[in-house]
Amino acid sequence: MSLPPIVVFDLDGTLAETAPDIMRVLNVILEREGLPALPLARARELVGAGARALIERGFKVSGRPLEPATLERLFADFLTIYATDTAANSHLFDGVAGALDLLAGEGYALAVCTNKPILHTRLILDHFGIAGRFAAVAGRDTFPFFKPDPRHLTLTIEAAKADPARAVMIGDSRTDIATARAAGIPSICVPFGYTDVPIETLAPDFVIQHFDELPGAVGRALNSAARASLTA
């Protein structure tokens, strides 16, 4: 029996708008340390590289040095606070549920590969009622490797029992593009996620403006990849 093709999704900024809750927890941390809260409008430049980097960036914006030991303490606090309420102010992007249904109906396996800790990842997917749609869910701490290491992606595909030669990565950032490229897998990106530069400038294989476009883009990405392999 042949393995199915697979579509692997990033989570934050790709499947879901999670910045409101991430920034809410960051501001709890900052205010506890006597620093001003940061507006949600700063999320695009702060979110996307994990909680440690988020805290470091928050302190940098506020102009205060951050010692390594303090960072580790605040990182642990962040994870604890975030786990109590991961998604009250978050939402799936428009069209996500329909795109997942269409892809599954066309025979694709689905998976999540994110640098968010697996605990918070599962809490968010459960909150939105979509956890059961994915054959595999991998967080930052699922494997010894995490994005942009391509093994995070390839091991996710393996866990989903899918075909790595017919895989597509869906993301919103340079990390997702670099991971897919290193794994030899085409990337499709959304322009409304968490990136400090326009996603088009990072040269993913395809950019979609809405999830309604995703099933068609996945087909085009796999067809392009198949043609490239024949001519290589």
Annotation marks residue 12 as catalytic:
no
Alpha-carbon gap, residue 119 to 173, rounded angstroms: 22
Q: Using the predicted structure, report yes or no on whether residue 226 has a pLDDT greater than 80.
A: no
Alpha-carbon gap, residue 135 to 140, rounded angstroms: 17
Q: Rounded mean pLDDT of 134-142? A: 97
pLDDT at residue 48 in the model: 76
- Name the pTM for this structure: 0.94
Q: Using the predicted structure, report yes or no on whether residue 1 has a pLDDT greater than 80.
A: no
Q: Using the predicted structure, report yes or no on whether residue 229 has a pLDDT greater than 80.
A: no
pLDDT at residue 152 in the model: 98
Q: Rounded mean pLDDT of 101-110? A: 97
Alpha-carbon gap, residue 109 to 94, rounded angstroms: 21
The per-residue pLDDT for range 188-197, each reduced to its tens digit, is: 999 999 888 8
The angle subtended at Cα 121 by Cα 114 and Cα 215, nearest 5°, is 60
Yes or no: say if 26 and 78 are a contact pair by the CB < 8 Å rule. yes
The model's confidence at residue 42, banded by pLDDT at 50, 70 and 90, is: confident
The pairing of beta strand 167-171 with beta strand 6-9: parallel
Yes or no: say if 153 and 147 are a contact pair by the CB < 8 Å rule. yes
Alpha-carbon gap, residue 66 to 60, rounded angstroms: 8
The model's confidence at residue 45, banded by pLDDT at 50, 70 and 90, is: confident
Alpha-carbon gap, residue 56 to 107, rounded angstroms: 42
Yes or no: say if 42 and 35 are a contact pair by the CB < 8 Å rule. no
* Residue of 211, 197, 167 lying closest to 185 (CA atoms): 167
pLDDT at residue 212 in the model: 97
pLDDT at residue 49 in the model: 77
* Residue of 106, 187, 176 lying closest to 148 (CA atoms): 176
Q: What architecture is domain 6-17+90-231?
A: 3-Layer(aba) Sandwich (3.40)
Yes or no: say if 15 and 189 are a contact pair by the CB < 8 Å rule. no
Alpha-carbon gap, residue 99 to 24, rounded angstroms: 29
Residue ranges of the chain that CATH labels 3.40.50.1000: 6-17+90-231
Catalytic residue among 10, 21, 172, 205: 10
> Tokens for 128?
């939105």
The model's confidence at residue 232, banded by pLDDT at 50, 70 and 90, is: low
CATH class of 19-84: mainly alpha
Q: Rounded mean pLDDT of 29-48? A: 89
Beta bridge partners of 55: none
The pairing of beta strand 109-113 with beta strand 6-9: parallel
The per-residue pLDDT for range 111-137, each reduced to its tens digit, is: 999 999 999 999 999 999 999 999 999
Residue ranges of the chain that CATH labels 1.10.150.240: 19-84
pLDDT at residue 133 in the model: 97
The per-residue pLDDT for range 61-103, each reduced to its tens digit, is: 888 889 999 999 999 999 999 999 999 999 999 999 999 999 9
Task: Return mean pLDDT, the chain.
Answer: 94
DSSP line for 82-95: HHH-SSTT-EEPTT
